[in-house]
């Protein structure tokens, strides 16, 4: 089985890109130009995903998944030996879903006004304050955790959090004082799969 991930460097598709590299599953990564919504061969990306955004994962049979939290759980379940997600039906799995939902709704979407040139300065200031509060909460949750977000094993939740933590610097949001979060980011950054993906996406 070969999987195909459509991505844009450094955006939310970085999360499933990391998960794929960690999983060891065979896959290819297809770059989409966010300005033209074209692929390298000229294909109109809207013909693949009518919503126009990444990530999108295409399975060997042509089936498609297009939401990050669903994609990364699918990837994890194809390589259970890698411990990228707790087993289905366990309380730990629901905690993973909880983290993915929090990051999607409270962190990821919180950046939307900051990347919107039409948003007012007041709206952006309020968005930054809210985001900082959410990052501070995550930092507190990480206190005393020596390895990763959910314990001993790196999971797809760590990949998503790492991805989002790369965005504050782009919008002038300072999270450098959050020591627990900084330590987690550094641990994740040193993983060989992470280094490979960052290199592949031209981010290092």
Residue 145 reports pLDDT greater than 90: no
Under CATH, to which class is 91-191 assigned? mainly alpha
State the average pLDDT for the chain: 96
- This prediction has a pTM of 0.96
Residue 189 reports pLDDT greater than 70: yes
For residue 108, whether the previous peptide bond is cis, meaning omega lies within 30 degrees of 0, is no
Residue 144 reports pLDDT greater than 90: no
The pLDDT of residue 19 is 98
Mean pLDDT within 32-50: 98
* Residue 91: strand pairing partners: none
Residue range(s) of every CATH 1.20.1050.10 domain in the chain: 91-191
pLDDT band with cut points at 50, 70 and 90 for residue 204: confident
pLDDT band with cut points at 50, 70 and 90 for residue 1: low
Residue position matching structure tokens 């990530």: 55
Tens-digit pLDDT profile for residues 48-79: 999 999 999 999 999 999 999 999 999 999 99
* Exposure letters 27-36 (e unless 16+ CB within 10 A, then b): bebbbbeeee
Name the residue with higher pLDDT: 23 or 144.
Answer: 23
Radius of gyration of the chain (CA): 17
Q: What is the DSSP letter of 86?
A: P
Residue range(s) of every CATH 3.40.30.10 domain in the chain: 3-83+193-200
pLDDT band with cut points at 50, 70 and 90 for residue 146: confident
Q: How many CB atoms lie within 10 A of CB 131?
A: 22
Percent of the chain with pLDDT over 90: 97
Q: In CATH terms, is domain 3-83+193-200 a member of 3.10.129.10?
A: no
* Residue 92: strand pairing partners: none
Residue position matching structure tokens 């006004």: 113
């Amino acid at each position: 089985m070969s999987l195909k991930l459509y991505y844009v460097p450094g955006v939310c598709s970085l999360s499933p890109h990391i998960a794929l590299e960690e999983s060891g599953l065979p896959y290819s990564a297809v770059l989409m130009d966010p300005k033209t919504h074209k692929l390298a061969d000229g294909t109109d990306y809207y013909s693949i995903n009518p919503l126009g955004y990444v990530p999108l994962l295409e399975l060997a049979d042509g089936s498609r998944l297009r939401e990050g939290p669903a994609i990364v759980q699918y990837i994890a379940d194809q390589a259970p030996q890698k411990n990228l997600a707790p087993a289905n039906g366990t309380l730990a799995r629901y905690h993973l879903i909880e983290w993915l939902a929090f990051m999607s709704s409270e962190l990821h979407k919180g950046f939307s006004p900051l990347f919107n040139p039409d948003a007012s300065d007041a709206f952006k200031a309020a968005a930054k304050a809210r985001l900082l509060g959410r990052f501070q909460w995550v930092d507190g949750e990480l206190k005393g955790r020596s390895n990763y977000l959910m314990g001993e094993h790196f999971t797809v939740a760590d990949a998503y959090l790492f991805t989002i933590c790369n965005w504050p610097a782009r919008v002038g949001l300072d999270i450098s004082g959050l020591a627990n979060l900084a330590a987690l980011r550094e641990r994740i950054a040193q993983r060989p799969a992470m280094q490979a993906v960052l290199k592949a996406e031209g981010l290092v």
